[in-house]
Amino acid sequence: MSNNNYVEILKYAMNMEKKAEEFYGMYLNKVQAESNKEIFKELAEMEDDHYEILKKELDKIKADGKFNDIDTSALKGGEDIFKTNERDIKNIDFSKVVEDLPILRMAYAMESDFAKFYTEAAKSADDPNAKKLLEVLADWEIKHRDSFDEEIKLATQNSWFNNSFAPF
């Protein structure tokens, strides 16, 4: 892959991360459940971190045509942002979470798109450092997507239970 391709991938990824930061920042004040407010606040900060990582790589590749050998284990991936299994389910106000479902679904779709983009970009990368970075970003976005999926399922199922409705 040429450096021009990497530059375009990085520019596109930076734009995606900036839009995600804006999305989470904007909807932070619109989601009702406190747990979702916390998730959106942390994700907005994380998307900014992703942007900065990508910017450093873009600057590096423009300067000398090479990616940094990043210690990806030191990067914050956000695995702890979603704590569905660790939270006290009894203290969650599911009526508010249900109100947040449309926003959670938009976040799920966005994270799914990011995961797909990074996965495909990593497949086409021939620079080992670029491949490693893109794979780590793909993995993080997959975890975010899957966590939103769990949040959506939990809220939906709880709503059905509270309304004595079981479609399956």
Rounded to an integer, what distance in angstroms lies between the CA atom of residue 120 and that of residue 113?
11
The boundaries of the domain holding residue 13 are 3-162
Write out the chain's pLDDT in tens, 168 residues. Answer: 777 799 999 999 999 999 999 999 999 999 988 888 988 998 999 899 889 989 999 999 999 888 888 776 666 655 566 664 455 555 555 667 778 889 999 999 999 999 999 999 999 999 999 999 999 999 989 999 998 898 888 878 776 666 566 665
Residue 48 domain-assigned?
yes
The backbone torsions φ and ψ at residue 84, rounded to the nearest 5 degrees and listed phi first, read: -50, -45
Q: What distances in angstroms separate CA 79 from CA 43, 123, 145, 157, 159, one per listed residue? A: 11, 23, 11, 23, 26
CATH classification at residue 89: 1.20.1260.10
Residue 58 domain-assigned?
yes
**How buried is residue 125: exposed, middle or buried, by Cβ count under 10 Å (0-12/13-18/19+)?**
buried
pLDDT of residue 158: 72
Residue 73 domain-assigned?
yes
Helix H, strand E, coil C: the string for 78-138 is: CCCCCCCCCCCHHHCCHHHHHHCHHHHHHHHHHHHHHHHHHHHHHHHCCCHHHHHHHHHHH
Q: Six-digit token pair at 37?
A: 């407010």
Residue 117 domain-assigned?
yes
Cβ atoms within 10 Å of 96's Cβ, excluding its own = 16
Q: How many domains does the chain have?
A: 1
Residue 167 domain-assigned?
no
